[in-house]
Amino acid sequence: MFDILLYLYDTYLLADQIPDAEHLSRKLSAAGFENSAIMEALDWLSGLEELQAVELASSPHAIRIYGTEEVRRLALEGRGFLAFLEQSNLLPPHAREWVIDQALALPDDDISADQIKWIALMAIWKLKGAGDVLWLEDLVRGSEEGWQPSLH
Identify the CA nearest to 150 among candidates 120, 141, 44.
141
Torsion of Cα atoms, 16 then 111 then 31 then 134, to 10°: 30
Q: Is the dihedral of CA 91, 93, 94, 98 positive or negative?
A: positive
pTM flag (> 0.85): no
pLDDT tens profile 31-90:
888 888 888 878 877 777 676 655 555 566 678 899 999 999 999 999 999 999 988 888
Residues 6+ apart with CB under 8 A from 103: 73, 74, 78, 111, 115, 116, 119
